[in-house]
Structures are given as C-alpha cells and as structure tokens.
Structure 1
Amino acid sequence: MTILVNTEELEAKVKDMYRHVAQQPQDRFHFELGAPVALRAGYDADRLADVPAGAVESFAGVGHFFDLADLQAGETVVDLGSGSGMDAFYAAGLVGPTGHVYGVDFTQEQLDKARRLATEAGLEQVEFREARIETLPLPDAVVDCVISNGVINLCPDKNAVFAEAARVLKPGGRLAIADIISEQPLTDAIVCNADLWASCIGGAAQQELYLQAIESAGFTIAAHRLNPYEFISDQARNASAKYGVKSISLLAIKTER
C-alpha cells in the first residue's frame, strides 16, 4: 500500500480533529459521535451504561467487533487508537479486574481525558500509553487480543500496524477490529488530501488489499462482515458513495509458530 499523503500534515490534521472530538464532542464532524452510533453498531446497552459517560460521548467508532473478539476474564487487551477510552473501558468490563487493557493513542487531549475517566471510575486494570500504533510500547507475545475501531485507516503505513499487532500477540492471539475500507481504489487526489484522511475517507484501503495486508503480517482471517455506516458531511458522503467506502468488522488469528 503506497503512501501518497504528506504524513506530517496528516498527523497534524488527525491530532487537531481528535483533540476536538475529545474536548467538544457536541460539535459537528464528518462522522457521528456518541451512544447512538455505538448502539446502532451493536454495542450492548447495559454494558455501555457502565462505561464512563465522558468516554461514550467522544466515541467515534465505525462498527462493532466485541462479538468477534470474545474477550474472556483475565485476558490482556490492547486498543489501537483508544481515543477517550470507550472501547478500552468496554473491554475492561469483559476481562474483569484480573485482566488488563492498554489503550494506545498519540493525541494528548484524548489521553488526558481517558486517564482522568479511568481514575474517576477506579478502573485500575486500564492503562493509557502515548505512542503510535505502528510502534507499540509493549514486549513481544504478551497480549491475548488486539482491538481497534475506525483508526487503522488513519495510519499511512498499515503494514507496520498489522506487523506490530502480530508482534505483541501471543501465538493464537486475536485481532478484532472495525475499520473503513473501500470497494474501488481511491484517486490520488483523494489519497493526497490530508483533510479526507483525517475524516476516515482518504486512508481507506481497498478491501482485498486490506485483508491481504493482515494475512501477510502472519494472520488468518477467521471472519469478516460489512456494517451499515454513514458519514454526515456532503464531502464524505460523496466520496463514500463514489468509491464504495464502507465499514468492515473482522477477526483474524495470529498463526501459531
């Protein structure tokens, strides 16, 4: 997957947008935020009610994957691009006090909010670390499940993200994610547009290439499905309709070695 976008400009745009998501979730974005989108995606209402409200209001996910992840008590989980912590906190409710959840993000305002919420809720098994998702601050083979929601499309080097996920997972570990992909290759004009990348459009890889990248990193795709998902802004809707930009949820298993 060739990188065409200016990565420094992209990083600045992504940080600016998700700083805004953390601090002013009531504002209008290219995508919907909060409990309504989570419930439509398939999150359990009772379990969602136990997640800190401040994390739910800044939730910008694009699908549901926890049914595929099948998290168990005592497991260790890493959330790639954890934002204000919604999926990390949701995972914590599934792995329980004997489990551990690492949230990884590079936007300081998101990390600050997530850490504050974790402290207020007394969720000692949830830990947020500042890092890029293609260079995880964890040792090899220590994680049972890697999760991510609507974030990998924002990263120009998706091969590195999947390779890092494989590195930190134990043999037989799971990768359970929701993300944005496309049916048709995007034009260079879209791929080079940092605004569309930050809006979860410009970085959408073609579905076949996306799945191939996961397999090339040492995974076997166990299940995948397309999800109903709509962007809000006209610009994002138009690009989505023209190129078949869609949400996908999938489960992949790290090959035993």
Structure 2
Amino acid sequence: MRREDDIRTNVRESYAKVALKLENTQGFSTLAPSCCNPKDNQNVSIEEISQKMGYTKEELASIPNGANMGLSCGNPQAIANLKPGEIVVDLGSGGGFDCFLAAPKVGKKGRVIGIDMTPEMIAKARRNAEKPGYEQVEFRLGEIEYMPVADDTADIIISNCVINLSPNKRQVFKEAYRILKKAGRLAISDVVLTTALPESYLLDMNLYSGCVSGAISIEEYKALLKDAGFTNISIILKDESKEFIREWEPHHDLENYIVSAIIQAVKKGNY
C-alpha cells in the first residue's frame, strides 16, 4: 500500500509541473498528470474545459489571466450561495480560480482564503491577488489535512476536484469541521466512485494525480462527513459529467467508474 507521504509528494510534483507548464501554453490544456484535462488534445482551450464544468463566459472573463487552469470537475460557486461579508476558505485553491470568483460575492467586508500545498500554485495565485479588486483575497501554503486556519473562522468551505487527491480524507473533514463556524457550510465539487476501480488503476500513480485512484464511494463520503460531525449531508451525482470525464484518459474508460458530484453539508449549531 502506498504511503501517504508518497502520494502527497507525487501530487505536489504533478501540480507544480502544471503551474509551471501553463505559464507557457497560452491558455491550452496540458499533458502533465493532473485532474480534469483532456489528455489527447492539447488544442482544447482551458476556457472550453471550464464551460463544460458549468462556468459562464462572464465568470471566466472576470478573473485575472492565468487563474483558471482548467482543473475543475464542477462549479462550487453555483451551490455556494455566497453572501456579502462572509469568510470563504477554498481547499486546494490552485491558481486562485474559485477564490477570485468568490471575492466580488463576499465584497470588501468579506474574506477569501485559498489553501494549497504546492508552492508554485501559491506563487501564481499571490501574483494575481496583487491586482486591484482582490484586497480581501489571500493564499496560504499548507496541506488540507492540517489547514493553516484558526478554529471557527469560515462561514463556508468550497473545493473543486481536490479532496479526492488527499490520502487522508477523514482528517480533511475533521479539519473542515474545525475551521467552520457553527452552522457553517460545505460546498464541494468532487469525483466519486460509482463502482470499484480495477487493481491496475489503483496502483497507477498518474491516475491518482489525475483525480481517479483517490476517489471514494458515495457511501464512504457520507460516512466520513457524518463521523466528522456534519449534518444535512447531500451528494448529487452529475451524470452529464461522464462526457468530459471520458476525455481525461481516453484509454481507461473512466466514465464507467467515476462521476462528478455536488457535495453539501452543514456544521452543527446556530449562529
């Protein structure tokens, strides 16, 4: 069985390559082992990929250049219902895509905190955060299993196709519960298993970094959230996602094993 440290190292190195490679690909997808990219077609634009995930052209045009890296399996913004003044924490924030979209929704009195364990991603996101209009956005280097955020900080946690990459999801949800305020919300896009993966897929480290081998079942997802203390747990499968999942690794029939899902939950308590 692969050690957690080996998995984290592989994921970190893979996404560092994505961050560096995309500096020179002029908005087109990359073949580096990573989530949510068509592997056999480098002529597919990142904007096209993101529109398939549910982002509008207006949203994509509103963020800084380079923030959108095409690493999505859905649009957590669509379910987050962000309000002015709220504090948002984005788990696995990458180049800052969802953070920059959240910023105008929470306004100047709100805050957006992005967490990512890849220094190259944090550097890219911080450069974009220096641009006018994003004073309420900050990025912190850290692992989502041990978040650099104080207890009872966030009104809402968002995440986009990242939790599947963690080798210790139980710890991620414990941490998420810790940093949320009472009645705080979880709004996640992620991939889940619809049936067990072949052993060869489980052993393929590139498929782990590609958001496949680390996926868990709906039942396990719900159990981990419940064990962490969450209530009002909802997992809605997006069957239409099988169309773009098929493109991630065309030679692995992934659409028969995983599907994108919208995951929501609430921390116990009242404001």
Task: Give me the TM-score of the superposition, normalised by structure 1.
Answer: 0.90
Which structure has more relative contact order (CA 8 Å, sep 6+)? It is 1
Residue 13 (structure 2) pairs with residue 13 (structure 1): no
CA contact (8 A) 2:63 2:97 kept: yes
CA contact (8 A) 1:62 1:178 kept: yes
Residue 241 (structure 2) pairs with residue 232 (structure 1): no
TM-aligned CA deviation for residue 188 of structure 1 = 4.3
Secondary structure of the corresponding residue to residue 23 of structure 1? helix
Secondary structure of the corresponding residue to residue 147 of structure 1? strand
> 2:263 and 2:9 mapped to 1: Cα distance?
29
Q: Pairwise mapping of residues 19-168 of structure 1 onto structure 2 (< 5 A)?
A: 19-25=16-22, 26=25, 27-29=30-32, 31-32=36-37, 34-56=46-68, 58-168=69-179
> 1:59 and 1:128 mapped to 2: Cα distance?
19
> 1:224 and 1:16 mapped to 2: Cα distance?
30
What runs of 5+ residues in structure 1 fail to find an aligned partner? none
Q: How many residues are matched?
A: 250
TM-aligned CA deviation for residue 191 of structure 1 = 2.7
Secondary structure of the corresponding residue to residue 102 of structure 2? helix
TM-aligned CA deviation for residue 197 of structure 1 = 0.8
CA contact (8 A) 2:17 2:32 kept: no
TM-aligned CA deviation for residue 195 of structure 1 = 1.9
> 1:250 and 1:41 mapped to 2: Cα distance?
15
Equivalent residue letter for 1:143: A
Which whole-Å deviations, capped at 9, do the CAs of 1:113-150 have from their partners, x for residues lacking one? 00001113441111100000010111111110001000
Equivalent residue letter for 1:245: I
**Aligned residue for 1:250?**
263
Determine what percentage of the aligned residue pairs are the same residue: 36
> 2:106 and 2:60 mapped to 1: Cα distance?
15
Task: Give me the TM-score of the superposition, normalised by structure 2.
Answer: 0.86
TM-aligned CA deviation for residue 185 of structure 1 = 2.4
Moved over 6 A (4+): none
What runs of 5+ residues in structure 2 fail to find an aligned partner? 38-44
